[in-house]
Structure 1
Amino acid sequence: MSFKTKINKYFTNHAETRENHEDASLQTHYYKTTKEKGINMLENYFTHSQVYEINATSKEHGEISVFVKKGKKVFIVATVIMVRPYHTAIDFSVTTESIFPFDFGYSTKVIQQLYNKVNQELQLITLKENG
């Protein structure tokens, strides 16, 4: 990861995952599941958590938008896309609202926490299997 990327991670209020991100913790995760099971897992987690509140769900588009109820004001969009049978990508986009235009890496930490939870619930496909 370049020095500029490290600096930008702390001086922004937004973080999102993508296929070939310089930061390995922000690369798209793939799971051995279907789109429906991935969305249902996330929906169930957000619904039963005291931290999150679901704003909207679009199963057709594979998206769930969520607010954080406690602590910092955070808006999350989770996207679930089935690449091929039992090979589903889950991406997150996180924006932190504050009076400052940066969150000192908080958005990235939220994504890492979400991926940790999903990794406990769904079978992660490693890079070797991802080919």
Structure 2
Amino acid sequence: MSVMRSIQSFFTTNTETSDEHWDERLKSRYYKSNAKKTLQEVVEVLNAFEGISITSVSEDRGEISASIHKPRKGFLVATVVSVRPFETAVDFNVLTETSLPSDFGNSKRVVYNLYERIDQKLSKSQTGKM
């Protein structure tokens, strides 16, 4: 079944992380930090990421939306949710603009890179549901 999922994920223009995602690298990440600090770190990571510009930040809702300019145009929504006093979840939804039925893994690579950069700044608590 894993081969079929890999093929299906190749023919998509959208990547969304979740607690129960079949791809370990696309499971929600939990960090040992409060929501405000985590949101600030995600904003810093997005600002430092070449080709991404933040369009809005909603601290009340814990959402950040951004436009992706390269390597392919797209749209990104980052969600930061406080789970416990010092545990915060970070999820992404990346949509690539293309007329083709596939973005050739571009949206997945964006999420992989973002999580990698956030992992360097914050201490991980867990990944996905335990």
TM over 0.5: yes
Contact 2:52/2:67, CA 8 A, preserved across alignment: yes
Q: Give the aligned CA root-mean-square deviation in angstroms.
A: 1.6
- The reply to whether residue 67 of structure 1 matches residue 59 of structure 2 is no
Bigger shift: 33-42 or 66-75?
66-75
Distance 1:122 1:91, change over 3 A: same
> How far off is 1:3 after superposition?
2.2
Distance 1:48 1:104, change over 3 A: closer
The aligned length equals: 129
Contact 2:30/2:124, CA 8 A, preserved across alignment: yes
Q: TM-score, normalised by structure 1?
A: 0.91
> How far off is 1:48 after superposition?
4.0
Which residue identity lines up with residue 77 of structure 1 in the other structure?
A: V
Show the counterpart of 2:12: 12
* CA distance, structure 1, for counterparts of residue 126 and residue 19 of structure 2: 14
- Within 5 Å, give how 1:24-63 maps onto structure 2: 24-63=24-63
The list of structure 1 runs, each at least 4 consecutive aligned residues, that deviate by more than 3 angstroms after superposition, is: none
> How far off is 1:103 after superposition?
0.8
**Residue segments in structure 1 that go unaligned for 5+ positions in a row:** none
Secondary structure (helix, strand or coil) at the match of 2:21 reads: coil
* CA distance, structure 2, for counterparts of residue 24 and residue 50 of structure 1: 25
Secondary structure (helix, strand or coil) at the match of 1:98 reads: coil
* CA distance, structure 2, for counterparts of residue 25 and residue 91 of structure 1: 12
Which residue identity lines up with residue 5 of structure 1 in the other structure?
A: R
**Residue segments in structure 2 that go unaligned for 5+ positions in a row:** none
Q: TM-score, normalised by structure 2?
A: 0.91
Show the counterpart of 1:87: 87
